[in-house]
Amino acid sequence: VNLKDNSTTSPKLMPYPSWAAHATGLDGKPPEIISPFRVRADRCGRLWVLDNGKIGNLETSPTKYPPSIIVYDLKTDNLLRKYVIPADQVKEESGFVNIVIEDTDCQKTYAYAGDVGKAGIVVYSWDRNESWRISHHFFYPDPFACDFNVKGLNFSWTDAIFGMGISGPNSDGYSTLYF
């Protein structure tokens, strides 16, 4: 895109990785990508997409398809893997909105998907191609810190795991997950 161009014509958008990945096929199968909420690139040349499976916004829309973790090769834009989070790790009010990647070893990579609706974290192992859900009382919001007043508008914000970050490897080779 030429930034000095005074044209009023917008550039054509190109969906990633393709239109086909976003289209429902004639066979009735869901598209490859439903509702990507966060993406992360790792040092191994992969793009990790956290797809929450919802159509519409998080509050009013039911999950239409199961949430998944989709991984693309950034050099070729090819799908490497689509991992559907198992039903027993998805709760009635789940909303997966953030993902962080621990990629100190490209084969033994871990993805951490935070559940904002039903406090928990789903941990996915690239090497084993499996996941598990962990719960802890630290994942729940502090009920005394959930009431807000902004310019006279009072509201309650009770999200669970929303913001996430991960450190580089510590001296023991493991990273620290912050939430």
Q: What is the pLDDT of residues 119-151, one digit of tens each?
A: 899 999 999 999 999 998 888 777 777 788 889
Structure pTM?
A: 0.84
Mean pLDDT of 20-24: 83
Tokens coding 178: 């912050």
What are the DSSP calls for 114-170, one per residue? EETTTTEEEEEETTTTEEEEE--GGGS--GGG-EEEETTEEEE----S---EE----
